[in-house]
Amino acid sequence: MVKHFDNEYIADFWQQHIHHPDSVNLRIPGSAANLGPGFDTVALALGIYVNLTLTLLSHDDKRIPLVTTLNAEQENLGSAAANFAGKILKEHLKLKPPMLKRIRVFIQSEIPVERGLGSSAAVALGILWATAKLSGEIVMPSQLLTRAAIIEGHADNAAASLLGGLVIAVNSGSERMVIAKKLAWPKNWEAILVIPARRVPTAKARRLLPKVIPYKDAIYNLQHTALLLAAVQHQSEDLMRQALHDRLHERYRAQLVPELAELKKQLDGGSALGCVLSGAGSAILVLVNKHKKKETIEQIKLWQNTKGTDCDLLVPIVDQRGLQELHD
């Protein structure tokens, strides 16, 4: 039996409780992970956001579901987010029934789902942060990211969403704690997202990866990840163009995102710094100097028109603030 809810009542309730003392209201950026060679290690926070409100009711109000997505009609998170958020609350946080009955989560998102833009990591991070705050628990960032990594399987997206900017996230030697470090991102470097209409479930993209990789490919990625970090540190565009190459995941996932190879070919030798798969895809991240952004967008549009490709084009900022609590 499907239970139907009064959407107007729910929306009114959310508006009244968004800044209630027993509510936590968050704005969390999405992210592009890997940046080519930095597989499960490097991610960049982007100015596409999830707004998440977690409220602790005074009593169980059965007229309001555990999780409400407030803009599901925009093909953002929808029922998948509701199921994912509910799973975090019930299975990962293992909240006691008295508290679980009083918790309500409201989600608004502008992050397209299953495009490799960190929507699930942003939701997971928001729920972890908000429940810790409402329960009075003091949680260090490393603990928060460790919990997010258990949910997500890796911490790079969550680390970028938490800290903003370019972030390196690794497991400590014992693999019991995530260590994350934010690097200064060059002010002149900006992002362009090319987003195919096609969704790519992360689990499906992961299954394409081999269990064993050639030793030379591992060395290749180590070298290029080091070069990537050096390029950022020294704000060197020449190094960045050399760094954005991968042998661990993009070649295997290319069959799910044929636009990647086409766009790499279109932009090769042009104005862009590089072109990489965003996370597991299907979104493609193009990095560019802001002074050459217009020229690069024209190249991308030429490719779209030539190929007749059904892709959206977004030009988000590189978010430098990370997760923010909203108080007004």
- pLDDT given at position 3: 54
What's the chain's length in residues?
328
Residue 203's pLDDT is 85
Residue 175 — pLDDT band, cuts 50, 70, 90?
A: low
pLDDT over 50 (residue 76): no
Rounded to two decimals, the pTM is 0.90
> Quick check: 157 pLDDT over 80?
yes
What does pLDDT average to over the chain? 87
DSSP assignment of 83-111, as one string? HHHHHIIIIIS---HHHHTTEEEEEEE-S
Least Cα distance to 120 among 201, 39, 194, 176 occurs for 201
pLDDT for 77-135, tens place per residue? 556 666 787 788 877 776 666 777 888 888 888 998 889 999 999 999 999 999 888 88
Name the pLDDT band for 2 (thresholds 50, 70, 90).
Answer: very low
- What Å distances lie between residue 301 and 188, 232, 298, 321, CA to CA? 22, 27, 5, 30
Report pLDDT digits (tens) over 144-156.
Answer: 899 898 888 889 9
Q: Which residue has the tokens 């591992």?
A: 218
Lowest mean pLDDT among 96-100, 210-214, 252-256, 257-261: 96-100
Span 278-298, mean pLDDT? 94
Instruction: Bin 269: left if φ > 0, else alpha if -120 < ψ < 50, else beta.
Output: left
Domain ranges of the chain: 7-183, 189-314
pLDDT at 4 over 70: no
The predicted-structure confidence for 24-36, as pLDDT tens digits, reads as follows: 999 999 999 999 9
Check whether the bond before 282 is cis (ω within 30° of 0): yes
Q: CA-CA distance, 319 to 31, in Å (whole number)?
A: 9
Q: What are phi and psi of 199, to 5 degrees?
A: -85, 150
SS3 218: helix
Using CA atoms, how far residue 104 sits from 6, 89, 90, 150, in Å, is 15, 10, 12, 23
189-314 has the same fold as 7-183:
no
Residue 168 clears pLDDT 50, i.e. is over it: yes
Q: For residue 305, what are its two tokens?
A: 């028109």
pLDDT of the residue at 75: 44
What class does CATH assign to 7-183?
Answer: alpha beta
Q: What is the mean pLDDT of residues 193-221?
A: 92
For residue 210, count other CB atoms closer than 10 A to its CB. 10
Percentage of the chain modeled with pLDDT above 90: 55
Tell which CATH architecture fits domain 189-314. 2-Layer Sandwich (3.30)
Residue 193's pLDDT band (cuts 50, 70, 90): very high
Amino acid in the structure at residue 266: Q
pLDDT at 5 over 90: no
* pLDDT tens-place string over residues 318-327: 999 999 998 7
Query: CA-to-CA distance for 12 and 16, rounded, in angstroms?
Result: 6
Q: Give residue 39's pLDDT.
A: 94
Output the CA–CA distances (angstroms, integers) from residue 249 to 36, 81, 96, 213, 252, in the order listed: 8, 26, 40, 10, 5
Query: What is the rounded distance in angstroms from the CA atom of residue 31 to the CA atom of residue 124?
Result: 13
Using CA atoms, how far apart are residues 255 and 246, in angstroms rounded to an integer?
Answer: 15
Whether the CA torsion 37, 261, 45, 67 is positive or negative: it is negative
Residue 260 or residue 173, greater confidence: 260
> Smallest Cα–Cα separation from 193: which of 120, 256, 112, 109?
112
**What average pLDDT does this structure show over 8-23?**
72
Contacts of 305 (CB under 8 A, 6+ apart): none
Over residues 177-204, mean pLDDT: 92
